[in-house]
Amino acid sequence: MKDRINKPSIYCFGEVLWDIFPTGARAGGAPFNVAYNLMRMGVDAHMISRVGNDGYGATLLAQIEDWGITVADSQVDKKYDTGTVIAHIDEHNEAHYDIVQPVAWDFIEYRKDYTEKVANADAFVFGSLITRNEVSYKTLLKLLEVAKFKVFDVNIRPPFYSVEIITELLKKADLVKMNKAELRIILDFLGKEYTSEDNGIRFIQQEFNVSEVLVSKGSKGAVYYNGDEHFEFPAVPVTIQDTVGSGDAFLAGFLSKRIAGATPQEIMKQATALGAFITSKEGACPNYTIKDFESFCEANSVAEGNITNANI
């Protein structure tokens, strides 16, 4: 535990599961993918979730712990199985998912010890998929009451979302991360015509009183809005292995610098580079070290000089 002292701490809440690919099973779940890459970036990452009392669950918890992510805050369900997702990769290397339900992570129960832990963490990461069951959703709402920096990774997975829940979570967030498609979906929810990316993001900032909005756009890079400023960043060109978990890695790269008080340029340099790095690997949680990532950045000339800063 000594190596955790003085490290920034982030709690991720939601699904841990097995992504079942034609080539085999891999540990996954959006909040877990974020936690994994946070750990690789030197953050003290914690996962609040629930697995089944089965072989999949035992193997998953052992794997997570072996990776250095705290599992003491995750639960074991005696009734429901560990979550699984049947994943398909199309001809464009894009992932499509069949998310099994109900499973253990639908039933994450509130524990009193969570309150102090989440309140003392530097950030609290959550998504919308975990709200598909009332048990986990109620636990999430309790933790949002105490979290100091609430990060909403929208992560819409049809049919597991509702307009009411998405808007409720937007109201509670300090930082919202979404992709370009989700931006359009949310605006459509609200009856707001999409006229431009800038107008859409500004509308969300004002409508929900959220200062920070982060939008990933794949090969077209990303934008980061913080108050009245916004920053545009190009993508790092790579040979794509698959896109599974690339957005989660992007968020992890962002948060690891954001909570350290880095500049927007430094923050987004790491975010876009880590997203690209994971895209160049197979799976959302490939084995790598910080030195591997740094070598990737050097080889691909990832530097502040590649970044466009647009202050409005």
Residue located via tokens 């009193």: 112
- Whole-number pLDDT of residue 312: 32
Whole-number pLDDT of residue 132: 97
Burial of 146 (0-12, 13-18, 19+ CB in 10 A): middle
Return phi, psi of residue 118, to 5°.
-70, -40
Could you read off the pLDDT tens digit of each residue along the chain, which spans 312 residues?
A: 435 557 899 999 999 999 888 888 999 999 999 999 999 999 999 999 999 999 999 999 999 999 999 888 999 999 999 999 987 777 776 767 789 999 999 999 999 999 999 999 999 999 999 999 999 999 999 999 999 999 999 999 889 989 999 999 999 999 999 999 999 999 999 999 999 999 999 999 999 999 999 999 988 999 999 999 999 999 998 988 888 889 999 999 999 999 999 999 999 999 999 999 999 998 889 999 999 999 999 998 775 534 444 433
Question: What's the pLDDT score for residue 1?
Answer: 41
Q: What pLDDT shows up at residue 5?
A: 56
Spatial CB neighbours of 15, under 8 Å, sequence gap ≥ 6: 29, 30, 31, 32, 49, 83, 105, 127, 129, 130
CA distances from 309 to 106, 223, 232, 267, 305 (A): 41, 10, 6, 12, 10
At 207, the amino acid letter reads E
Domain 11-311: CATH superfamily is: Ribokinase (3.40.1190.20)
Domain map (residue ranges) of the chain: 11-311
Cα distance between residue 91 and residue 175, in whole Å: 33
